[in-house]
Chains A and B, each alone.
Chain A
Amino acid sequence: MDRNRLHNQVASMRRSLFDQGYLDDQFIQLEELQDDTNPNFVQEVVTLFYNDSTRLIQNIEQALNSRPIDFCKLDDYMHQFKGSSSSIGAKKVTNECTAFREYCNAENAEGCIRSFQQVKQEHAILKRKLEVYLQTVRQASQTA
C-alpha cells in the first residue's frame, strides 16, 4: 500500500499547505491546468517561479543596499515580484510583498528592509515545502 500511503501523504501535505496559508486558490488553478499533455505543469511553473524570483530578489537587495534608496524602483521590483508570486498562489509571500510596498510607499527604509527579510523568509520556506510536496507527488504518481 505504498501507493496509498504516498497518496495519503500527498493529500495531507497539500491540505496543510492550504490550511496554513502558504498556498491559495491560484495554486489550484495551476493544478487544474495540469493534464496528460502537461503532466508536470505545476512543477514546471514552480521551478520557473523560483528561478525568476531569485533574480528579482537580487534586484531588490541591490536597490535596498544602494544609497540613497530609490523607492520607485523598489516598488517596481516588488510589484513584479508580487505579481509573480501571486500567480502561483504563494499566499504568504504575496502578503509580505504587500506589506513591503506599504513601507516603500511611505519611504520607510527601515520598514522596507525588515519587511523584505520577511519576504525572503516566506519565499524560502515555501520553496522548501513545495519541493518536498512536489517530490512526494512525483513519487506517488510513479508508484501508481
Chain B
Amino acid sequence: MNVSSVKGSMSISSSTSTWKAGDTISDQFPAGLRVLVVDDDPTCLMILEKMLIACLYKVTKCNRAETALSKLRENKNGYDIVLSDVHMPDMDGFKLLEHIGLEMDLPVIMMSADDGKQVVMKGVTHGACDYLIKPVRIEALKNIWQHVVRKRKNEWKEFEQSGSVEEGDRQPKQSDDADYSSSANEGNWKGSKRRKDEEEETDERDDTSTLKKPRVVWSVELHQQFVAAVNQLGIDTVPKKILELMNVPGLTRENVASHLQKYRLYLRRLSGVSQHQSNLSTIISAQDPTFGSLSSLSGLDLQTLAATGQLPAQSLARLQAAGLGRATAKSAIPITLVDQRNIFSFENPKLRFGEGQQQHMTNKQQVNLLHGIPTTMEPKQLVSLRHAAQSVGNMNMQVPPHGPQSGQNNPLLMQMGQQQQQQQQSRGQILVDSTINHAPRLSSMGQPILSNGMATNVSSRSGIPENIRAPGYSQTPSMLNFPMNHASELPGNCFPLGSTPGVSNLTSKGAFQEDVNSETKGSGGFMPSYDVFNDLNQHKPQSWELQNVGIAFDSSQHSNSLQGNLDLTQSALGQQGFSSGQMNGHNRSAAVASKAMFSTGDVKELRSAQNINQHLNNLLVDNTIRVKSERVCDTSPANIFPDHFGQDDLMSALLKQQESVASSENEFDFDGYSMNNIPV
C-alpha cells in the first residue's frame, strides 16, 4: 500500500518509516521503546522516568494530560506506549485514555495508588491495556513492551485476516462480548466462521493482507469518514463495505476492521454508560448537545468543534473509543446480538438492544469526541461524512469520492441537514450507532478504548430505536436534522438511518456485525431497531427504506452479511437497489482507502456520518450520493471486525487473546522494532 500517497491522516507511511527507524535497534528490543509517561505528581514522574530509563526505554515525560495529548498529536508515530496516572488535575486519566485510543491507537497503561475494583474495571473498560498500582516497581515496567508487541500482533492479525475473517469476528450474537477481546481472537475464531461466508471478501483483501501493516493513524478526518461510512452502512456493516465506501487509498480492510471493532466497543461502552444513566432520554439529552455541536461541524466543523472543545472531550473520546475501540468488535452485530453479549459488565442489556440506542449513544459520543479532540479531520473524513449525509437524502450533494473536503462537506451537509431535520434526529441516532458499531470493526488501530465505547453503543443500538432517537439525538436535535447546519449530528455516525442509500447503518449493523453468520443476525438485529426506529420517526418510514436499501446494498457487496439485510430491505430497496450497485463498486475502493485513514477524525466522521445519515434517510437519498457514502462505509461485512460490541467482553477477550495468541512477532512490525527480534 502506498501510504505516502494517502491523503491526510493516513499515517501508514509514517508508521512504516518509524518502523524502519526501529530496525536499527530491533536487536535490542525492547530497548529503545518510546514511552510517554504522564503524571501530575512530580515525585512519581521523576521516579518513573528514572525507572523507565533504567529499562533502557526512551522516555518522554509530561505532567499534564493536555501536554501529553499534544505531544502525541504532533508526533503520532513517535511513541510506542503511554503510561498515565488516573488522577490528574487537568484531565481525567480515563479521558486521556480514550483520546489516545481513538486518535492514536497506542497501548495505554494506567497507574494509580487506587486499587479499588471499580477503578481498575474502569481502566479495563476504557481500553487500558494494563493497570499498575502505585507505587510502581521497576519490575512492572520492565514488561510493558509486551503490550506494544501484542497490539501490533493483533493488528497484524487483523490485517492478515481481514479478508477472510472480517466478518467472522463480528459474530454478533455470540461474540460480541467475548470476541472482541482481541483482534487476534477475531481472526482466529471468527475467522473460521466468517471464512466461509466471506470468502469473497478475502479476495479483495489478499493484497492488503500480504502487505506489511503499517500503523494507520486515525485522524479526525479519517475517523469522520469512517463514521460517515458506518452510519451509512449501519454499525453492523462489515469492514469491507466501510472501506469501500470510504475510499481512502492506502487504507486496508484490516485497518477498518480493527477500527470498527474499537468503535463498536466504544459505542457499546457509551451505551452501557448511558444505560446506567438509565434513561435513554437522559442519554439523549446528553448526547444531543454534544451531538448537536458536533453535527454542525460535519466535516470541517467537527474538527473545529473538537478543537474548540465544544464537544466534551470525554464524549468525544467515548465516541472515539466506541468507534475505534478495539472494542472487541462486537459492535457490528451487536445490536441484535447485544442481548447475547451481556458480557459487558457495564453495559446494560438495554444497550444491546438498541441500535437506536447506540446510535444515540454514538451520537453523543461522537459529538463529544469530536469536540474534545482537536484532531484534524481529514478531508476524507469530512467527505465521508458528507457522503453519509448525502446518501441520506441529499441528492444535491455530490460527495467527492475521496477525501472529504471539509469545505465541501459543510455545504453538503448543510443541504442535507435542511431537508432532514427531523428525520435526522432519529436517524442520527441510528447513524451514530451504526457508525460506532462499524467503527470498531474498521479500526485497525484497534484501540481498546474504543471498543469499550463501541460496545456500549452497539448494544444500545440494537435494541432501542427509540433510544436512537432520543438519546443520541436529543442532545442535538439540530444535529439530527442533518442539515448541514450541524453537520456534526450524525452524519458520520454509523448508520444512515433510513434513507441512506445503501448503507443504512442500522441495517448494516445487523448485517455486518457478525459478518458471516450474522447476516441473518444482522438483519435480525437490525430489524428491531428498524422497527423502533420507525416508531420514532414517524415520518420516516421511508428513511428506513433507505436504510434498508443500504443494507441491501451492503448485502450485495457482502454476500454474507447483506443477505439478511437484503431480505429486510427488499421492499425498500427496490428503488435503491440501484445505488447499492454503484456503491458496491465504490465501496471496495473506498474501503481500502479509508481504512487507513481513520483516526480521531473518525469520531467526527461518525458524528457527521450520523448526521448525514439522517439527512439521507430523510431524503431518500440520491443514488449517487448513496453510492458515495456507501463507498466510504463499505468495510465489507466480512471485514468488519469480528467483534462488535461488548467492549468489556471485547476487552477482556482481547486481553486474553493477546495473551493466548501465539506471537508471530516476526510478522508484524511496529514502529521502531522489527518483529523478528521481538522476544516473545
Contacts and interface: CB of A to CB of B under 8 A. Distances in A.
Interface of A: 26, 29-30, 32-33, 38, 41, 44-45, 48-49, 52, 76, 79-80, 82-84, 86-89
Contacts of B113: 79, 82-83, 86
Contact of A87 (B87, B114, B134, B138): B134
B9 interface: no
A84 B41 contact: yes
Given A29-B138, A76-B87, A79-B87, A87 B50 contact: no
Contacts of A44: 46
Interface in B37-72: 40-44, 46-47, 50-51, 54
B310 interface: no
A135 to B, nearest CB: 20
Interface of B: 40-44, 46-47, 50-51, 54, 85, 87, 112-114, 134-138
B138 A86 contact: no
A87 B87 CA distance: 15
Contacts of B135: 26, 29, 83, 86-87, 89
Q: Which of B135, B136, B137 gathers the greatest number of chain A CB atoms within 10 Å?
A: B135
A86 B115 CA distance: 13
Given A83-B44, A87-B47, 19 more contacts: A26-B137, A29-B135, A30-B47, A33-B47, A33-B50, A48-B42, A48-B46, A49-B43, A52-B41, A52-B43, A76-B87, A80-B87, A83-B85, A83-B112, A83-B134, A86-B135, A87-B44, A87-B135, A89-B135
Chain B at the A interface: SS class: mixed
A128 B87 CA distance: 29
Chain A CB count within 10 A is highest, among B42, B43, B46, B51, for B43
B393 to A, nearest CB: 48
Contacts of B44: 83-84, 87
Contacts of B112: 83
A87 B47 CA distance: 8
B50 A86 contact: no
A79 B46 contact: no
Given A79-B114, A83-B112, A86-B135, A33 B54 contact: yes
A83 B47 contact: no
The 3 A-B pairs with the shortest beta carbon distances in the complex, nearest first, are: A83-B113, A87-B135, A49-B43
A82 B135 CA distance: 10
A52 to B, nearest CB: 5
Contacts of B85: 83
A88 B136 CA distance: 10
A48 B138 contact: no
A87 B43 contact: yes
B54 A84 contact: no
Contacts of A41: 50
Nearest to B39: A83
A32 to B, nearest CB: 7
Contacts of B40: 80
Given A29-B137, A30-B47, A33-B138, A52 B87 contact: no
Nearest to A46: B43
A106 B138 CA distance: 35
B46 A86 contact: no
A116 B136 CA distance: 25
A84 B47 CA distance: 10
A52 B42 CA distance: 7
Contacts of B47: 29-30, 33, 45, 87-88
Contact of B138 (A32, A49, A79, A84): A32
Q: Which of A32, A45, A48, A87 has the most CB of B within 10 A?
A: A87
Contacts of B137: 26, 29
A48 B50 contact: no
A86 to B, nearest CB: 5
Contacts of B51: 29, 33
A44 to B, nearest CB: 7
Nearest to A32: B138
Contacts of B87: 76, 79-80, 83
Given A33-B54, A79-B114, A45 B138 contact: no
B43 to A, nearest CB: 4
Nearest to B139: A29
10 contacts: A33-B138, A44-B46, A45-B47, A49-B43, A79-B87, A79-B114, A80-B87, A83-B87, A83-B135, A87-B44
Contacts of B138: 29, 32-33
A29 B85 CA distance: 19
B39 to A, nearest CB: 9
Contacts of A30: 47
A41 B137 CA distance: 16
Contacts of A86: 113, 134-135
Contacts of B42: 48, 52
A34 to B, nearest CB: 9
Contact of A38 (B41, B43, B50, B134): B50
Contacts of A33: 47, 50-51, 54, 138
Nearest to B54: A33
A26 B43 CA distance: 13
A88 B43 contact: yes
A75 B135 CA distance: 18
Contacts of A80: 40-41, 87
A12 B51 CA distance: 27
A126 B178 CA distance: 49
A114 to B, nearest CB: 22
Given A26-B135, A89-B135, A83 B41 contact: yes
Nearest to A85: B43
Nearest to B114: A79
B43 A84 contact: yes
A102 to B, nearest CB: 13
Residue from A29, A45, A82, A89 with most neighbouring chain B CB atoms (10 Å): A29
Nearest to B136: A87
